Structure 1
Amino acid sequence: MNAATQRLAFNEPTWIDTIAAWLLALLWILPLAYAVWTAFHPAEYSTRFALAAPLTLDNFRRAWEAAPFARYFLNTTLLVAMVLAAQLVLGTLAAYAFARYEFKGRNVAFALVLVQLMVMPDILLVENYKTMARLGLVDTLVAIGLPYFASAFAIFLLRQTFMGIPKELDEAARVEGASAMQTLWRVYVPLARPVYTAFALVSISFHWNNFLWPLIITNSVNARPLTVGLQVFSSVDQGVDWSVITAATLMTSAPLLIAFLLFQRQFVQSFMRAGIK
């Protein structure tokens, strides 16, 4: 077996794969690099590069003063925490039932859960708005998060994990006098901690960046998240100041970038353990 065949047999990256990966990485990093450059320099340097360009934090100050960012950050944090808590609780209970209980129609019910993964949320915008209006929840954080409380992805991911846990642990817990709920919270949940971390990152990232549904369901600053609040910087009447826009964008995306950098190892390992590519 020659060297080329060995690389293919063991799935080792070739020099073409390496070059392609570097080109893709460069393509993805350029917008972030431009945003960082523009945000930390005066407006006149937003379209040109100069080594002697002065650094400034004035763009961040102007962005913070142009919109109620403190309120937007609070709304987004509360929204993300509320949705994540509901998804973890409901997803855990449903996944445990699908993984460990035999009941009539279980496979059909789980198939319906998987079908939900194929439905784009945008298709349900009109019906969701009508439902929130009937409930009197328009322009509230609850209205933004309620359609996402039950996550099919969380149910699927946790079910796969729970099915990989030996049933002998259930029997040992029952012998010790633990109820079904105690077995779930004291045995299954701790063993699935890496999966919870991975799903939390996915959920937080999605709802932190979600724009269309919050835009439709909110009317005031009191309920708007960060993504909707960024609209104030693209006003046609005031013109477009890219330095302020990029500064506001960096303030909005910084928490997600920091969270991913801190938990990227757990994120990758948890999906590998769950058998998902």
Structure 2
Amino acid sequence: MNATQRLAYNEPTWLDTLAAWVLAIAWILPLLYATWTAFHPGEYSTKFSLFAPLTLDNFRRAWEAAPFARYFLNTTLLVLMILAVQLVLGTLAAYAFARFEFRGKQVAFALVLVQLMIMPDILLVENYKTMSRLGLVDTLFAIGLPYFASAFCIFLLRQTFLSIPKELDEAARVEGASAMQVLWRIYVPLAKPVYIAFALVSVSYHWNNFLWPLIVTNSVNARPLTVGLQVFSSVDQGVDWSVITAATLMTSAPLLIAFLLFQRQFVQSFMRAGIK
């Protein structure tokens, strides 16, 4: 089979495979370095030795250097709050765009798509002014409020709902189901893989979000993990890479585990939504 035939059947060429390996190695090397440094004494952070002693002391020091328990609680509450609101609002909006006809529908959906083109950092100043006027500065609600309406969630669910046959709606209506019952009993269960994929995207983004939480919070009570990691780069003794990498691994471990558990649903959901 020649190159043209392989492309026609969407089979990867040797160049595709090489590019994939290069990207995979470029991604895994920093993680391997962080893992090596976190589990070895500080003097081995810049050198490799097969006989280097293993230690968990770096994780203990990282946990004691900052209120990690509070940071983990704040981050968990934050991402769950944002995700719950995004799923409810996104489901209702996507269902309306997919199955209802109303005046200004195309204009409203165009405005949703415009939101996808606007970088969140552009709105930092205005968002901070709004939170200040509302008296919400230094709260978890202030971190999450600008992200409650997710254009990506609406777009992804709308594409999925459009792929569901309308005959299911008609059959449910004949049985006496209301519009909300059709949504929650038919559309939501059929879109379960898409919800899982969006949940991974949303949780990952807001778990790692740094700039906006840094601007809108002032105390430990509201700061998430990403902002709390600053303490490790401002210690009086200088930068201890062993402790920093241990803290980084503790911060990123939940996301890595979640992706490994749900990676199949993550890929399948985007394929079902028609997104390349």
Q: TM-score, length-normalised on structure 2?
A: 0.98
- Rate the CA distance shift 1:9–1:165 in 2: closer, same or farther, 3 A: closer
- Rate the CA distance shift 1:173–1:135 in 2: closer, same or farther, 3 A: same
Q: Which amino acid aligns with 2:116?
A: L
Partner of 1:127: 126
Pairs within 5 Å for 1:2-41? 2-41=1-40
Partner of 2:184, secondary structure, is: helix
Partner of 2:68: 69
Distance 2:188 2:168 in 1: 13
Instruction: Give CA deviations for 1:94-146 in whole Å, capped at 9, x if unaligned.
Output: 00111111111100000000000000000000000011011110000000000
- Rate the CA distance shift 1:178–1:35 in 2: closer, same or farther, 3 A: same
Per the TM alignment, residue 21 of structure 1 is displaced from its structure 2 partner at its CA by: 1.7
Per the TM alignment, residue 12 of structure 1 is displaced from its structure 2 partner at its CA by: 1.9
- Any gaps of 5 or more consecutive residues in structure 2? none
Distance 1:98 1:6 in 2: 39
Partner of 1:92, secondary structure, is: helix
Q: TM-score, length-normalised on structure 1?
A: 0.98
Partner of 2:200: 201
Partner of 1:239, secondary structure, is: coil
Distance 2:254 2:22 in 1: 26
Partner of 1:178: 177
Partner of 2:214: 215
Per the TM alignment, residue 236 of structure 1 is displaced from its structure 2 partner at its CA by: 5.5
Q: Which amino acid aligns with 1:79?
A: L
Partner of 2:77, secondary structure, is: helix
Distance 2:5 2:127 in 1: 54
What's the C-alpha RMSD, in Å, of the aligned pairs?
A: 1.0
Q: Which amino acid aligns with 2:100?
A: Y
Partner of 2:165, secondary structure, is: coil
Are positions 1:97 and 2:96 aligned together?
yes
- Rate the CA distance shift 1:5–1:93 in 2: closer, same or farther, 3 A: closer
Distance 1:16 1:113 in 2: 37
Partner of 2:265: 266
Distance 2:237 2:217 in 1: 23
Distance 1:162 1:196 in 2: 12
Q: How many residues were matched structurally?
A: 276
Q: Which amino acid aligns with 1:59?
A: N
